[in-house]
Amino acid sequence: MNREGRGATAPVTPLTPAPETFTGNRALDLEEGLIFEVGRPEVSGVDLPEPKGTAHRLGGLKRAAAPELPGLSEPEAMRHYVRLSRMNYGIDSGLFPLGSCTMKHNPRLNEKMARLEGFADVHPLQPLSTVQGALELMGELSRYLLALTGMAAVALPPKAGAHGELTGMMAIKAAHLAKGSTRHIVLVPESAHGTNPATAALIGYQVKAIPARPDGTVDAQTVRDALTPEVAALMLTNPNTCGLFERDIVEIAAAVHEAGAYFYCDGANFNAILGKVRVADLGVDAMHINLHKTFSTPHGGGGPGAGPVVLSPALAPFAPVPALVARDGTLTLVEEKGAAGAEQALGRMSAFHGQMGMFVRALAWMLSHGADGMRQASEDAVLSANYVRASLMDLMTAPFAERPAMHEALFDDTWLAGTGISTLDVAKALIDEGYHPMTVYFPLVVHGAMLIEPTESESKASLDLFIGALRDLAMAAKAGDKERFLGAPHYAPRRRLDETRAARTPVLRWVKPAPLSEAAE
Ligand SMILES: *Cc1c(COP(=O)(O)O)cnc(C)c1O
């Protein structure tokens, strides 16, 4: 499909370049400054009378001048945050093609359940006898996660996938220490997500990279060759970040165990195999599950995520506290490491039991899908990814395309050779088409990678429109329309930003500009 396909019946009048506006607004795209820029210290949304007959007790510590906090009237405060929210792109505004990160629809039913007051208004320090229903929900979610993975235990506290990775790897370290082993190497394939080596390094392991074979997967023999007596664990993602199922995973797991090491599986891509494969059957010892990916809970602005980690019988005793256990018909949380039910616990990973609101949403999704529905969700996700890949392969180059893709479609930048246009330019031009860019330059094993994960929750119509936009861009790139790319995004409120500089030298403090009179001196 191309632009002609979108009902363009009237002849298009060529437009003159848009003039600058006085306000900086572009029609309904409203400009908004920082709260320090739009607020005034003297303004407040509330107007309380001075309290009478009270003496302050601050002595000489009382402020001489009011703090320079920005103030806004109530309507201004409302507009400030609504305007900011409209600058954001979210799964509720359009298809979110990020690869690796499974951005799927967050059903409103989940939100409704999470807002039930019995779930929304509980406090983590409430007596356990008053929150039995909430604990039961956590127990039920655990039961589902264990049934779906075939594993022996699950720890719900971790607050993100990376936090789950850390928990799982700490359980592996605890298991080695319990045996008196001081193994210090963790094997991580080159295609791994950055959190894998970061997790291993954070807890003191030395990371050794495992190369992939030309077909994008890990070879059991390569792993076997790297398995020295110093190796504590292998961290492997399945399906991997090239969107491929690791065919030799059972053989790899066996080799890892034979060498006395543990097998950590990065479960961020569980959405592709949900209800199809039980990871316990693959020989996995620990795996995190991103509830905000596979189980449709919102990612939010970088959170709140939830990354429960499932453990094999060998690692189950090392699960963190608090541990949820049933005693004499009541559910209880074992809070102390070393207490009955948590004798060998690795310790505590978060203040309380985890992200309750996300547990409710994830279980709501599971219950509304049922076993057959969850299986179909993963089948549809895989079908969508293959449809996207097949629909673009004549224009864009897809490595490892001899095999069907799992949940995501991977392209490299070979198709851009000689155009003077890069992967980054394509991503920016996609913003002009009204999409959040796909994941770019990851996985690192593919040059100029573009990774697209459409998920099961997109209709064929929305996939077709997205494919149409990318096809149109690909044809424009090949036709030499550099202008469309190098200056992109043309229509966004902010244009090309220096992202590297923003990340390396972030400006985190607003500094009040000097008044004009001083600046002139
Ligand atoms: C998302 C992701 C992670 C990290 O999960 P977070 O919830 O973002 O911390 C780890 N590995 C892979 C492959 C991922 O896609």
Quick one: 351 and 387 in the same domain?
A: no
Quick one: 346 and 218 in the same domain?
A: yes
Q: Whose CA is nearest to atom 6 of ligand 1?
A: 161
Residue 428's pLDDT is 97
**Is residue 219 assigned to a domain?**
yes
For residue 307, what are the domain limits? 110-364
Q: Whose CA is nearest to atom 5 of ligand 1?
A: 161
Quick one: 344 and 387 in the same domain?
A: no
Lowest mean pLDDT among 63-77, 247-261, 380-394: 63-77
Q: Are 252 and 246 in contact (CB under 8 A)?
A: yes
Task: Give the end-to-end CA distance of the chain in Å, rounded to a whole number.
Answer: 61
Ligand 1 pocket at CB < 6 A = 100-101, 160-162, 193, 195, 237, 241, 266, 268, 290, 305, 307
224 vs 302, more confident: 224
Quick one: 357 and 410 in the same domain?
A: no
CA distance 451 to 243: 9
Residue 59's pLDDT is 85
CA distance 443 to 54: 64
Residue 356 three-state SS: helix
Instruction: State in Å: Cα 478 to ligand 1 middle.
Output: 34
Residue 8's pLDDT is 44
Instruction: State in Å: Cα 198 to ligand 1 middle.
Output: 12
Q: Whose CA is nearest to atom 14 of ligand 1?
A: 268
Question: Does residue 27 carry a pLDDT above 90?
Answer: no
| Atom from ligand 1 closest to the CA of residue 163 | 9
CA distance 195 to 199: 6
Q: In what order do the strands lie in the sheet with 309-311?
A: 153-155, 309-311, 286-288, 262-266, 231-237, 185-189, 206-210
**Is residue 76 assigned to a domain?**
no
Residue 144's pLDDT is 98
| Atom from ligand 1 closest to the CA of residue 241 | 13
Question: Does residue 449 carry a pLDDT above 70?
Answer: yes
Instruction: State in Å: Cα 442 to ligand 1 middle.
Output: 13
Instruction: State in Å: Cα 67 to ligand 1 middle.
Output: 41
| Atom from ligand 1 closest to the CA of residue 292 | 7
Q: What is the CATH number of the domain that holds 460?
A: 3.90.1150.10
- Per DSSP (E only), the strands in 148-250 are 153-155, 185-189, 206-210, 231-237
| Atom from ligand 1 closest to the CA of residue 305 | 7
Q: What is the CATH number of the domain that holds 118?
A: 3.40.640.10
Which of 188, 195, 241 best tests ligand 1's pocket when mutated (most atoms within 8 Å of CB)?
195
Quick one: 147 and 276 in the same domain?
A: yes
DSSP 335: -
Quick one: 397 and 259 in the same domain?
A: no
Instruction: State in Å: Cα 22 to ligand 1 middle.
Output: 43
Question: Does residue 229 carry a pLDDT above 80?
Answer: yes
Encode pLDDT of 83-95 as tens digits. Answer: 998 888 989 999 9
Instruction: State in Å: Cα 487 to ligand 1 middle.
Output: 31
**Is residue 85 assigned to a domain?**
no
Lowest mean pLDDT among 220-224, 236-240, 470-474, 494-498: 494-498
Instruction: State in Å: Cα 84 to ligand 1 middle.
Output: 26
Quick one: 317 and 341 in the same domain?
A: yes
DSSP 26: B
Instruction: State in Å: Cα 298 to ligand 1 middle.
Output: 14
State what percent of residues in the chain have pLDDT above 90. Answer: 78
Instruction: State in Å: Cα 510 to ligand 1 middle.
Output: 31
Q: Ramachandran region of residue 448, left (φ > 0), alpha (ψ -120 to 50) or beta? A: left
Give the H or E element holding residue 78. Answer: helix 74-86
Residue 172's pLDDT is 98
250 vs 25, more confident: 250
Instruction: From 499, 492, 503, select the one nearest 87 (Cα to Cα).
Output: 492
| Atom from ligand 1 closest to the CA of residue 237 | 13
Encode pLDDT of 89-140 as tens digits. Answer: 989 999 999 999 999 999 999 999 999 999 999 999 999 999 999 999 999 9
475 vs 302, more confident: 475
Q: Whose CA is nearest to atom 7 of ligand 1?
A: 161
| Atom from ligand 1 closest to the CA of residue 266 | 11
Residue 2's pLDDT is 43
Give the H or E element holding residue 471. Answer: helix 460-478
**Is residue 273 assigned to a domain?**
yes
CA distance 366 to 251: 31
Banded pLDDT at 471 (limits 50, 70, 90): very high
CA distance 350 to 163: 10
Q: Whose CA is nearest to atom 2 of ligand 1?
A: 268
Q: Whose CA is nearest to atom 15 of ligand 1?
A: 100
Quick one: 449 and 380 in the same domain?
A: yes
CA distance 513 to 487: 30
Quick one: 407 and 348 in the same domain?
A: no
**Is residue 501 assigned to a domain?**
no
Residue type, 168: G
Tally of structural domains, the chain: 2
The whole-number average pLDDT for the span 415-421 is: 97
The whole-number average pLDDT for the span 47-74 is: 86
Residue 5's pLDDT is 43
Which of 96, 98, 100 best tests ligand 1's pocket when mutated (most atoms within 8 Å of CB)?
100
**Is residue 340 assigned to a domain?**
yes
Instruction: State in Å: Cα 363 to ligand 1 middle.
Output: 20
Encode pLDDT of 141-166 as tens digits. Answer: 999 999 999 999 999 999 999 999 99
**Is residue 410 assigned to a domain?**
yes
* Arithmetic mean of pLDDT over the chain: 92
Quick one: 267 and 345 in the same domain?
A: yes
User: How do strand 262-266 and strand 286-288 relate by DSSP bridges?
Assistant: parallel
**Is residue 22 assigned to a domain?**
no
Of the ranges 2-11, 47-56, 261-270, the best mean pLDDT one: 261-270
Which of 167, 193, 358, 453 best tests ligand 1's pocket when mutated (most atoms within 8 Å of CB)?
193
Instruction: State in Å: Cα 307 to ligand 1 middle.
Output: 9
Quick one: 350 and 227 in the same domain?
A: yes
pTM for the model: 0.90
Buried (b) or exposed (e) across 84-106, using 16+ Cβ within 10 A? Answer: eeeeeeebeeebbbbbbbbbbeb
Answer with the one of 364, 389, 407 that is the final residue of a domain: 364
Question: Does residue 63 carry a pLDDT above 80?
Answer: yes
| Atom from ligand 1 closest to the CA of residue 195 | 10
Residue 24's pLDDT is 87
| Atom from ligand 1 closest to the CA of residue 192 | 13
Banded pLDDT at 15 (limits 50, 70, 90): low
Quick one: 354 and 380 in the same domain?
A: no
Answer with the one of 323, 345, 364 that is the final residue of a domain: 364
| Atom from ligand 1 closest to the CA of residue 162 | 9
